[in-house]
Structure 1
Amino acid sequence: MEENTDEVMNRSEYGGSIPVDNVQALASKDLKDIPIRYIRPEIESEEVLTDESLQIPVIDISKLAVAGKPGYDDELDKLHLACKNWGFFQLINHGITESIDAMKKVTEEFFKLPLEEKINCAQIPSSIEGYGQAFVVSEDQKLDWGDMLFILPLPIPQRNMRFWPQTPPSFRTTLDEYSKALQGVSMELFKLMSINLRIKPATLSNMYENCTQGIRMNYYPPCYEADKVLGLAPHSDATGITLLVQINEVQGLQIKKNSKWVPIKPIPGSIIVNIGDVMEIMSNGEYTSIEHRAMVNFERERISIAAFHSPGVKAMIGPLMELVKDKTPKYKTIDSEDYVRLVVNSKLDGKSLIDHMRI
């Protein structure tokens, strides 16, 4: 788990987030009024579906281990439709439960630490990594009711251990194992998606071989005005695919379907997978990234871990050549560095990034 100083320094060119108050500390005070920067008046007018029968597809990846076995073709079709029509699905029988459970434990322990210990991993002005908040780009934008620890475990030579907690003592080895386990799952999904997109099975996995992986641990404190704040503003993920696990049973993830918000009920032990903007662009719109947001609970904290997977730094971000031979490209092609700068210096705002990339 050594870091390469030269590579780490290069990351500082991308910029970071403006420092803001720690929300966990703010929530622990006896507040009479929630600060105005956290209040979101638009929430009241947005419709949330209460019908629990509308849920994202469930994909059993164990049925996709060997082509031709009973259930393989049906599950592959289900995966294709999930990526195409939903942009979200729950993955079961993934085989990495042990790594997930260990990561859940150390993440909970980290957020229970006193603030003075957590800020040993605080963000610095030039970096997107560390403990704090992300995507704060102006002094007057609305803020999310949540804190996060964001780390870039991959590629390994670019790790910056300054941001990796040393407490609890098992945090670093646990995160290292978790990173490898999720990378393995994501590479399997890329192969299956390539098959469904009718391109060479290794096309996507080759692009993600030296992938950039970011792991974001989210802590959403309870809020007595939870119906007026957001844990995470509506957005689509800027990356290829995201693998999310929920640490406790407090729900909060909602996705936008037909202009309405649909609450997601996680299956215990599952991984929630969603298509990011890069995958929408690469598939030339065949797969779709979906807006989602995180809500806050009135009485209980909510903790989750999201792992983002993006192509290697030398990849070009644009529609795959194999998919636009006989079709018009719907999106621009830019290099990875320009794309990352665009992401880091933008606030979360629906699908504005896709709008920027659209031709």
Structure 2
Amino acid sequence: MSASSRTVPQEQLPSEDLHPRPMPVINLGHLSLDSRTRSGVVNEIAKACRDLGYFQVINHGISQAIMDRAVEAASSFFKLPSETKEEYSSDDLRQPVRYDTSSKDSISMSRAFLKHYAHPLSDWIQYWPQKPPIYRDCMGRYAVEVRRVALLLMEAILEGLGLDKGYLKEKFQEGLQLLSVNSYPKVSHGATAIGLAPHSDYGFLTILLTSCQGLEVLDRSSKSWKTVQQLPHALHVHIGDHMEVLSNGQIKTVIHRALLNPEEARMSIASIHGFALHEKVTCATELVDEENPQKYKESSFSDFLDHLTANMDNKQRNFLESLRM
């Protein structure tokens, strides 16, 4: 079970941007205000999606306590004895819970991860680790809250594309949520170490909660890496491959990577949102015409897993490129 659809050779990517543009920070609470204010926020989100493929959100309605407890639960899991964690080790990408520390996914360079499904929570929580004792409760509460945020964002993004905010509402509500819980070690001062190689994510949206700085995104305009700043109580959002497909290329997926932090070990919780396992994603017919023909073939999360399984030895397993027409 992996959420990363493509890797990018390091030598093809640029160095750090010394003068990065400010990252958009969007107040999600304004979506529930009057129609004029909502329209302004929708336009902000649409611009960030089209120009960058990433932004941060504040006033999202998830309490700091719920976020802190989720990070604490994640940290406590990775502190467990190796034999306890390795009960969840598997080479089968379709396992409901999977733990690993290796580079089998071709992008993990220095991290341990635990991946598991989270929606519907009642279907999946029974497979989650029972140790530490706080894990299911704390991570479950966060999973429910961050999914609510994802659905709000999907409505706004669809509006920004000129689609009805209820477009495919049932499919999004019944869709897949995958949590990728990651632990990155502290790196010594002066060293530059990559914990997770450059890649894009499967799905429509990824919402990321991190314990400290380390995430970088590839800025398309400057062709350089941009550090994601740690703002109080903010969540980072980036666009996934299937959003690029749904928008028929109007919105692009974002390449990102994780660096190791010299100050402390880093925890991150990525919540990845897509359609159900076998539900096909295709270009919205409303966004296809003679001037903008369909650019991508349809595909599902199951197709994505099949692609990864068939290309295990290929370090450039680019799922999105396989969909281009």
Same fold (TM over 0.5): yes
TM-score by length of 1: 0.79
Q: Are the equivalent residues in 2 in contact too, given 1:284–1:331 (CA < 8 A)?
A: yes
Aligned to 1:11: none
Aligned CA RMSD, in angstroms, stands at 2.9
Counterpart Cα distance in 2 of 1:341 and 1:135: 19
Identify which range, 224-233 or 210-219, moves more after superposition: 224-233
Aligned to 1:79: 45
Question: CA 1:106–1:44 in structure 2 vs 1: closer, same or farther (change >3 Å)?
Answer: same
Aligned to 1:88: 54
What letter corresponds to residue 288 of structure 1 in structure 2? K
TM-score by length of 2: 0.86
Shift of 1:226: 7.5
Task: Please give the secondary structure, in 2, of the residue aligned with 1:274.
Answer: strand
What's the CA shift string for 1:153-173, capped at 9, x where partnerless? 1234652734x1212212112
Shift of 1:228: 5.3
Which of 95, 103, 109 is the aligned partner of 1:144? 109
Which of 286, 300, 304 is the aligned partner of 2:268? 304
Question: CA 1:56–1:349 in structure 2 vs 1: closer, same or farther (change >3 Å)?
Answer: farther
What's the CA shift string for 1:108-136, capped at 9, x where partnerless? 22222232332233335464532214771
Question: CA 1:305–1:335 in structure 2 vs 1: closer, same or farther (change >3 Å)?
Answer: closer
What letter corresponds to residue 112 of structure 1 in structure 2? K
Counterpart Cα distance in 2 of 1:45 and 1:337: 30
Aligned to 1:56: 23
Question: CA 1:334–1:64 in structure 2 vs 1: closer, same or farther (change >3 Å)?
Answer: same
Counterpart Cα distance in 1 of 2:72 and 2:307: 34
Identify which range, 343-352 or 189-198, moves more after superposition: 343-352
Is residue 2:317 matched to residue 1:355?
no
Decide which structure has the larger Cα Rg and report it.
Answer: 1
Which of 70, 84, 89 is the aligned partner of 1:103? 70
Shift of 1:72: 2.7
Which 5+ residue runs of structure 1 have no aligned equivalent?
1-14, 18-40
What's the CA shift string for 1:76-95, capped at 9, x where partnerless? 21111011111111010001
Is residue 2:221 matched to residue 1:253?
no
Question: CA 1:114–1:44 in structure 2 vs 1: closer, same or farther (change >3 Å)?
Answer: farther
* Dislocated runs of 4+, deviation >6 Å: 347-351
Matches within 5 A, 1:114-125: 114-123=81-90, 125=92
Percent pairwise identity: 26
What letter corresponds to residue 178 of structure 2 in structure 1? G
Which 5+ residue runs of structure 2 have no aligned equivalent?
4-8
Task: Please give the secondary structure, in 2, of the residue aligned with 1:178.
Answer: helix
What letter corresponds to residue 58 of structure 2 in structure 1? I
What letter corresponds to residue 279 of structure 1 in structure 2? M
Task: Please give the secondary structure, in 1, of the residue aligned with 2:17.
Answer: coil
